[in-house]
Amino acid sequence: MPGIVSGKVAIVTGGGRGIGRAIAEGLAAEGAKVVVCDIGASLAGVGIDEGPAQDTVAAIRRAGGEAIASTLSIVEPKNAETIVRTALEAFGRVDILINNAGILRDVIFHKMSHADWMDVIAVHLHGSFNMSRAVAGLFREQGSGAYVHMTSTSGLIGNFGQANYMAAKLGIMGLSRGIALDMQRFGVRSNCIAPFAFTRMIESIPAASEAERQRVERLSQMTPVKIAPLAVFLGSDAAAGISGQIFAVRNNEIFLFNQPRPIRVIHRSDGWTPQKLAEQLKPAFGPSFTPLERSGDVFAWDPI
């Protein structure tokens, strides 16, 4: 029986390890030809190693699938264009882009360096734009295409020591929404997934207290393969009509996130002054303020 993405060609960034590898293998198992992109850097974005991308390609081929590797950095726009050309030369088309590549530079904000900020933004946000833009013309011409971007509950909700990562991941949410709006007329879809999986990124989360250490231990039960089915589905024609949405996967749970909309309003016919706002804003809006929670505070129950 044909797989749900049979005949399609997918590009997966950060496909050498963790969630990216699970998605790449999941796409191949469902019939897609896959370009596995990964420079093989450390979690902090240091170094280059061709091994991870080649290992994923080898695993796909052993299972009977088709795949090629690229170790070009997606931070450079010209590299993104080269990756797309390579996919076209090897497989003739591109149908799915999985923007998964990322790095971490976790540090409390008052100690965060300019490099910590710029490097994280460069890989997550600029890299996602570079790859998305590189396939946009193809998607427009063929009247189809699916983007799946990895965001994070660290950005959607919050976490300590991750202002750079949070900004990048919320930026990706905006990027996805913008693509969905601009390209819907061409039959192109764009969605986000906030994945819960025990990867190198989760292992790096600071855990100062015993409760935090226990929570990280529970997170270790969630494997990257749990993320792949939703990513593969969103890349398939079966997901037609689903665009501009934000999902999360946590073990066997799949969540649909809401998106910012006005929830309260105050008005005065004579206009506002700072003094009037001091009198009325907090009493009116205070009960509806979003608390300063972290992802773990919101997802406080054990994974199912």
Q: Is residue 173, in this structure, part of any structural domain at all?
A: yes
Over residues 173-221, the pLDDT tens digits come to: 999 999 999 999 999 999 999 999 876 555 555 566 787 777 667 667 7
pLDDT (tens digit per residue) in 256-296: 999 999 999 999 999 999 999 999 999 999 999 999 999 98
Domains identified in the chain, total number: 1
| pLDDT tens digits for range 107-146 | 999 999 999 999 999 999 999 999 999 999 999 999 999 9
> Residue 127 belongs to what domain range?
9-259
Per the domain annotation, does 282 fall within a domain? no
Domain-embedded: residue 117: yes
Given the residues 117, 129, 139, 165, select the one marked as catalytic: 165
CATH number of the domain enclosing 252: 3.40.50.720
- Would you say residue 33 lies in a domain? yes
In a domain, 105, yes or no: yes
192 pairs with which residues across the strands? Answer: 149, 246
Active site residue 165: yes
| HSE toward the beta carbon, residue 3, CA cutoff 13 A | 20
From residue 55, give the alpha-carbon distance in Å to each of 16, 30, 40, 68, 226.
7, 19, 11, 11, 20
Any idea what DSSP says for residue 124? I
**Identity at 115, one-letter amino acid code:** A
Residue 302: what pLDDT? 83
**pLDDT class of 101 with cuts at 50, 70, 90:** very high
Q: Which residue has the higher pLDDT, 303 or 204?
A: 303
pTM of the model: 0.93
302 occurs within a structural domain: no
Q: Work out the percent of the chain whose per-residue pLDDT is above 70.
A: 95
Say if 271 falls within a structural domain: no
| In a domain? residue 301 | no
